[in-house]
Amino acid sequence: MEEEEQLRSFMFLMTYMLLKRRRDVNNASMQRRSEIQTRIRHRQYFFQRQRRMLMMMIAGGIHSNVHIRTRPWTTTPSTDWWERVVMTEFQPSDWLDKFRMSRETFFYLCDKLRPRLARQDTSFRLALPVEKRVAVALWRLASNIEYRTISALFGVGKSTVCRCVRDMCHAIVALLSSIYLRPPSEQELEDSARIFLSHWGFPHCVAAIATLHTAIITPSNNASDYANPAGWLSVLSQVAVSGQGQFWDVCASFPGGTDPADILQNSSLWATAAEGGLSPAPPPVFMGKPLRYVLLGEACYPLQSWLMKAYPEEKGRRVSHTAATEPQRLFNRRLTRATRVPEEALLRLRARWQCLSKRNDCGLDVVPTMILACCILHNMCESHGDAFKEDWQVEVAEAESPQPRHKQLLSTSMDQSHAEEVRQLFCDYFVQQNN
């Protein structure tokens, strides 16, 4: 019995020693394999590093008279179309059609954006010239065609097209806002008031406020917030337009379902106008009284002493207010005529830069900057006297969805107390002019 017990213990001990030996052998083998693989990886890295250094020496022209030009992002071996056709053979009408500006304005824009857009050549690739980067981005803003088409046209990658658009829009906002999108000077206020009176028959007015809806693709979050009154998804912008048809103030990036009155009340334009920033000091005289210049707005805005809107009128059988008097209807007609200024400015904006008239497939992080950049480019082209083709407006009218109409703000709780007195002054003026 004892011998069997000793034999069992011996067998157990031998089994344990054999298993331990096998485990030690396996561990040693795995460690050797790991060391071999590590040495192989290190050797491969060393060879790759040597190869990269050799390629850098070759690309840099060391020990060779041949300069190798590598462009990993290009999809075509040649950019002959840009370098030969555009730069040497484009006629003035071609520049206007394709880039929506004259050749002179194009190179002016490139010079202004060069500090932000210029890139350094490297040993592996040559940076795109600033002129080509701007041309790629302008082509996209003007036509809203797919990145793939622009990529094939300019001989660059789709990601490069996207990057060019993003970089140029940010550069325009950063470098050109202080020149083309700024508060007006006193002289500009006077000039704008003179144009509103002489061209549109509305006195003592320097600007008109309007809204712009830019169609977008369905966002990943809170898509219902972007549904505008017409039912399609959009980003809503608020613009203030001078008598010359140029933008003085732009607020972009709001969901299409936002109330325009909320945007205005939370904008810098509201604070500036309420403090008298859009009128010289002392205020000019109107109808025998000192009165700050006013702005014109849609019926969706609250009535303020500096913001005039139309009187409510009957619509069919629905009458929410007392019937408008004849002086009030005369005021409405004159105001409606004057608010054609922002309507025409926005139409020219969308016609020149059709990325705003068709559904924009850029992300919501890019669209607001793109809208601001297009407004700045609009002001720049208008200031430089670049031609505008009526055919562009026809294309927009046929292609885009109609801009939504916002509901009339019937409540007077947000109206300024003495704003009605100011509006009555304008009614008296129009009655005098009509007699």
Range with the poorest average pLDDT among 54-63, 238-247, 293-302: 54-63
Give the span between the Cα atoms of 356 and 353, in whole angstroms: 6
Q: What is the pLDDT of residues 259-275, one digit of tens each?
A: 999 999 999 999 999 99
Contacts of 388 (CB under 8 A, 6+ apart): 348, 351, 352, 381
Task: Judge whether residue 67 has pLDDT over 70.
Answer: no
Q: Alpha-carbon distance 110 to 104, whole Å?
A: 10
State the pLDDT at residue 322. 65
Residues 6+ positions from 295 with CB-CB distance below 8 Å:
205, 206, 207, 208, 209, 240, 273, 278, 306, 307, 308
Distance, in Å, from the CA atom of 220 to the CA atom of 232, rounded to the nearest integer, reads 15
Count of C-beta atoms within a 10 Å radius of residue 185: 10
Buried b (16+ CB within 10 A) or exposed e, 25-64: eeeeeeeeeeeeeeeeeeeeeeeeeeeeeeeeeebeeeee
Quick check: 176 and 380 in contact, CB under 8 A?
yes
Higher-confidence residue of 2 and 289: namely: 289
Residue pLDDT, tens place only, 385-423: 999 998 888 877 766 678 888 888 777 777 888 999 999
Residue 128, CA atoms < 13 Å, CB-side half-sphere: 24
Q: What's the token pair of residue 378?
A: 């609009």
Q: What is the mean pLDDT of residues 66-87?
A: 55
Q: Centre a 10 Å sphere on the Cβ of residue 387 and count the other Cβ atoms it contains.
A: 11
Rounded percentage of the chain residues whose pLDDT exceeds 70? 84
DSSP secondary structure letter of residue 430:
H
**pLDDT value, residue 329:** 94
Angle at 308 between CA 356 and CA 188, to 5 degrees: 70
pLDDT at 399: 60
Q: What would the pLDDT profile of 171-215 be if each residue is shown by its tens digit?
A: 999 999 999 999 999 999 999 999 999 999 999 999 999 999 999
User: In this model, does residue 9 exceed pLDDT 80?
Assistant: no
Confidence of residue 89 (pLDDT cuts 50, 70, 90): confident
The model carries a pTM of 0.79
Most confident by average pLDDT, 30-44, 86-100, 182-196: 182-196
pLDDT value for 400: 64
* Structure confidence at residue 28 as a pLDDT band (50, 70, 90): confident
Q: What pLDDT shows up at residue 337?
A: 96
H helix count then E strand count, the chain = 16, 7
Question: pLDDT value at position 321?
Answer: 54
Which pLDDT score is estimated for 419?
93
Pick the more confident residue, 84 or 43.
Answer: 84
The pLDDT of residue 38 is: 58
- Of 294 and 46, the structure prediction assigns the larger pLDDT to 294
Given this model, what pLDDT does residue 125 score? 72
Query: Within 10 A of 369 (CB to CB), how many other CB atoms are there?
Result: 20
pLDDT band at 66 (very low <50, low <70, confident <90, very high): very low
Bridge partner list, 285: 290
User: How far is residue 43 CA from its own chain's centroid?
Assistant: 50
Residue 282: is the preceding peptide bond cis (ω within 30°)?
yes
User: What confidence tens digit (pLDDT) does each residue in 142-153 have?
Assistant: 999 999 999 988
